[in-house]
Amino acid sequence: MPQTLDDRLVIAISSRALFNLDESHRVYESEGLEAYSAYQVAREEEPLEPGEAFPLVHKLLRLNDRLGEESQVEVVLLSRNSADTGLRVFNSIQHYDLAIKRAAFCGGESPWRYINAFGCQLFLSNEAEDVRYALDCGVAAATLVSSKGGGSHNDQLRFAFDGDAVIFSDEAERVYKSRGLEAFTASEQAAAREPLGGGPFKPFLAALQRLQQAFPASEAPIRTALVTARSAPAHERVIRTLRAWNIRIDESIFLGGLNKTEFLRAYQADVFFDDQPAHCASASPHIATGHVPHGIANA
């Protein structure tokens, strides 16, 4: 029978997120496709430098060493390259001994249409348009905007998420944007026992929890944190929503509007996902950051 990836955590990544293809991209933009192809073929034995998402992917794939013989984490490469120009990418994957076996090289076309076919729960890319299409397909997705990766210096993989429009729907954020903080607080207090709707990252968070449950809480190789601008009393609805979903978050940080960056550094996040461009811009020089172009803040 054909293999399936139904029982695995499947993460799709673009070649420009995994490797530093800035110089190659400059050739493409300044000299065109033929020059780009010649540039890549001439250098196909030269390994590419790691890109923004490389440390995250490396840690993800190492989870399989702790999760048993059967791989439970799968990383799939989705690329706008052709197979011919993509040979350098696969050679680089082999050079760094990354256990990536599956790929789609789309010859200049957007690769987002293969996300559901592979069963991906997360898509990371440098192409904002592809990310928006992935979100429209119901898959958690983010545009990598960081210029530097921070993170923890151990094998534990630490994810940090904003709440509204990322883990949760943007219904509460719409109240804040249209009517202000006082109305938002009053609305959240009144609806404290009504679970929020799910946001684009709810299924991915649930998938992470399934992996966490294979280990005692003190030994889990994955740790999650909610890092939100909310404060008391708007915290209650968030806590009750996660309880209703039966999803555990290891750490919940309610900042009441404080800058998130120092808290993300203290947490040692490997990656942070937020819908607000300003929050992403602040965090990105220090933490690998994914902008989630979803909800009212990105209308």
- Are 196 and 172 in contact by the 8 Å Cβ rule? The answer is yes
> What pLDDT is stored for residue 1 in this prediction?
40
- The catalytically annotated residue of 84, 97, 136, 162 is 162
Amino acid at 173: E
CA distances in angstroms from 67 to 207, 210, 212, 214, 216, listed in the order given: 14, 12, 10, 8, 13
Which pairs from 254-260 meet CB under 8 Å and 24+ separation? 254/228, 254/230, 255/227, 255/228, 255/229, 255/230, 255/231, 256/229, 256/230, 256/231, 256/232, 257/229, 257/231, 258/229, 260/227, 260/229
Report the candidate in 271, 199, 272 with the shortest Cα–Cα distance to residue 238.
Answer: 199
> What pLDDT is stored for residue 136 in this prediction?
92
Residue ranges of the chain whose pLDDT lies below 50: 1
Q: What is the pTM for the complete model shown?
A: 0.92
Query: The domain 9-142: what is its CATH number?
Result: 3.40.50.1000
Token duo for residue 202: 């709810």
157-298, which class in CATH? alpha beta
* 157-298 and 9-142 share a CATH fold: yes
Report the candidate in 222, 225, 203 with the shortest Cα–Cα distance to residue 213.
Answer: 222
Would you list the domain boundaries of the chain? 9-142, 157-298
| Annotation marks residue 97 as catalytic | no
